[in-house]
Amino acid sequence: QKEVEQNSGPLSVPEGAIASLNCTYSDRGSQSFFWYRQYSGKSPELIMSIYSNGDKEDGRFTAQLNKASQYVSLLIRDSQPSDSATYLCAASVFGNEKLTFGTGTRLTIIP
C-alpha cells in the first residue's frame, strides 16, 4: 500500500482557471508536507511546504492541509501554460529525514 497517493492524471485545465491537485497520506505521524514541481526531463523543485492545518498562500499557489482527513491539496490560481508539469506531493514524519513521495499528477494547462 502506497503511503502517499495522488491521481496520476493527466489533469487538463484551461489557461486562467484554477488547477486543483490532491494528495492523501496513510501515516498519521506525518507532520511536514511538500509540493514539488517537476518539468519533463528536469529535477523536482519545491513549490510549497505546509506543516499546520489550514491554508498557506504564496502568490498564485495555495496549499491546504487537513490532518484529520489526512489530505493535502495544492491550488494554482490563474493557471499559465508554464504551470504544465508533474506535481509531486511528499510527506515526512517529524525527526525522520525520509521524504515519501506520491507518484505525481501530470498537469496540462490548455492555452
Nearer to another protein, 66 or 96 (CB): 96
The cell for 10 is 493527466
Q: In the complex with another protein, which residue's Cβ is closer, 79 or 105?
A: 105
Q: Is 16 left (phi over 0), alpha (psi -120 to 50) or beta?
A: left
Nearest approach in angstroms of CB 43 to another protein is 4
Task: Give me the least distance between CB of 102 and another protein, in Å please.
Answer: 8
Phi/psi at 2 (nearest 5 deg)? -70, 145
Measured from the CB of residue 108, what is the shortest distance to another protein in angstroms? 15
CA distance linking residue 13 with residue 2, whole number of Å: 27
Distance, CA of 88 to CA of 22 (rounded, Å): 10
- Nearest residue (CB) to another protein, 45 versus 78: 45
CB of 64 to another protein, least distance (A): 18
> Which residue do the cell numbers 509540493 mark?
35
Write phi, then psi, for 68 (nearest 5 degrees).
-65, -40
Residue ranges that bind another protein, judged by CB under 8 A: 31-32, 34, 38, 42-46, 49, 51, 86, 88, 92-101, 103-104
